[in-house]
Amino acid sequence: MPGGSSPKPTVSPSTTRPANPWPVLCLLLAALLASACGTSRQATPPAEARLIEEFRKWEGTPYRLGGGSRRGVDCSSFVQIVMRDAYGISIPGTTREQMQVGRRVPPGTARLGDLVFFQTGRTTYHVGILMRDDFFMHASTSRGVTIDRLREPYWQQRMIQVRRVTERS
């Protein structure tokens, strides 16, 4: 190219960044390996399979404050919808209200399906759903519905509580 510039990658008009498939692939691989090592005949435990199925439906959906559809969703609505569709559990629609449901559990005992809460600003809160192996799914303000690791410094420093709203997980 003239001037040594390289061509810019083409970006789909509906998204600014393609979804990263690695977190989902890692979760599926971990589930497969765990099932191969145990005596269980199921490849993925039912509760985990339901969460993965819900994530796949929503993956890449853009973040939209107050949104509750695949055109745009915020973190608390995403958690509310996934808990309803995966577990049949009705929880409130705002993060502050969700911080009051279920029972608080120590972070070291957190497990699949628990709600993980973060303080991301002086009066701003964020929520996600714990997956396997320290992963959690959530509606990120910058990347939409995605999966991240709790041990990432950003999330570790901001985690304020874990709540269990189901005993089935």
The domain locations on the chain are: 44-164
CATH of domain 44-164: 3.90.1720.10
pLDDT tens digits, the chain, 169 residues: what are they?
444 444 444 433 444 444 565 665 555 545 444 444 444 444 567 889 999 999 999 999 999 999 999 999 999 999 999 999 999 999 999 999 999 999 999 999 999 999 999 999 999 999 999 998 899 999 999 999 999 999 999 999 999 999 999 875 4
Q: Cite the active site residues.
A: 75, 126, 138
Tell me: the pLDDT tens digits for 12-58? 344 444 456 566 555 554 544 444 444 444 456 788 999 999 999 99
The pTM (predicted TM-score) of the whole model is 0.75
Cα(77)–Cα(28) distance, integer angstroms: 25
CA 69 to chain centre: 16
